[in-house]
Amino acid sequence: DADVTQTPRNRITKTGKRIMLECSQTKGHDRMYWYRQDPGLGLRLIYYSFDVKDINKGEISDGYSVSRQAQAKFSLSLESAIPNQTALYFCATSDLPGDGYTFGSGTRLTVV
Amino acid sequence: GENVEQHPSTLSVQEGDSAVIKCTYSDSASNYFPWYKQELGKGPQLIIDIRSNVGEKKDQRIAVTLNKTAKHFSLHITETQPEDSAVYFCAAIATAAGNKLTFGGGTRVLVKP
């Protein structure tokens, strides 16, 4: 099994719908992150969590919310999806600040 | 906060040639610099990293160099192969701040057979 698992892998949803993207990890890491990647652009941080009780906004948090249900689970929600939220979403984990991140395989979200 | 700039945004090389990607960072406290490779349809994967107490690190055909004074670091790929075609990201973090990585904008590398 993958260290960082994202579900679903692909999703098409309609404008205005609420959608949840899920991330689970078996690395035992405390730190988890949600990134968004648009075509031709880099990785932009949406939210991050350094432990179960810690949630922080990233650079593009508007229109998104997160839930850290357990050390191993970090979910991203779009409360009311809009077409410009169509993108590739990645979850990542890390242990200490000086360690590299482990990324999931991504969720391709299309909002129509 | 930290700002990381990455150049070029696209790079096309002939198979067997070398490829170099350069990044600059703004926070002089940054001391950990990883590089990620993202293949089509996959998440980014860590391929090499360097810490501020060394100037160069090699792993087979890839190497990373760091110039702390100039605040820039580079990825070098020698003897490029078609499987090196991917998007590459640099990143930086000041670990003492306990914060998070700041990523560069990415470089799309195409190795032509």
Average pLDDT over residues B3-14: 96
Determine the average pLDDT of the residues in A26-34.
94
User: What is the SS3 assignment for A51-62?
Assistant: ECCEEEECCCCC
Q: pLDDT digits over A37-63, tens only?
A: 997 778 999 999 999 999 999 989 999
* Residues of chain A positioned with their CB less than 8 A from the CB of B86: none
pLDDT greater than 80 at residue A7: yes
Judged against a pLDDT cut of 80, whether residue A80 lies above it is answered with yes
Q: How confident is the model over B26-73, as pLDDT tens digits?
A: 999 999 999 999 999 899 999 999 998 889 999 999 999 999 999 999
CB contact under 8 A, A98 and B42: no
Residue among A31, A97, A106 minimizing CB distance to B43: A106
Residue with tokens 């914060």: B99
More confident position, B2 or B62: B62
Q: What is the pLDDT of residues B78-99, one digit of tens each?
A: 999 999 999 999 999 887 776 7
pLDDT confidence of residue A107: 97
pLDDT surpasses 90 at A16 = yes
More confident call, A10 vs B100 = A10
For residue A42, give the nearest of B51, B95, B105 by CB distance: B105
Q: Are B59 and B50 in contact (CB under 8 A)?
A: no
Whether residue A102 has pLDDT greater than 90 = yes
Check if the beta carbon of residue B4 is closer than 8 Å to that of residue B23.
yes
Instruction: Supply the pLDDT for residue B1.
Output: 80
Residue A100's pLDDT band, with cuts at 50, 70 and 90, is: confident
Per-residue pLDDT at A1 exceeds 70:
no
The answer to whether the CB atoms of A98 and B32 lie below 8 A apart is yes
Q: Mark yes or no for CB contact B44/A45 under 8 Å.
A: no
Q: Cβ of B43 and A103 within 8 Å?
A: yes
Closest CA to A3 of A109, A84, A102, A107: A102
Place of tokens 């991140």: A101
Q: Which two tokens stand for residue A50?
A: 């350094």
How far does the CA of residue B96 sit from the closest CA of chain A (Å)? 8
Distances (CA, A) of B64 to A40, A58, A70, B58, B91: 24, 28, 36, 7, 12
Please tell me whether residue A97 adopts helix, strand or coil conformation.
coil
**H or E stretch including A75?**
strand A73-78
Pairwise CA distance, residues A14 & B52, whole Å = 47
At A41 the pLDDT is 73
Residue A97 has its nearest CB partner, among B42, B49, B99, at B99
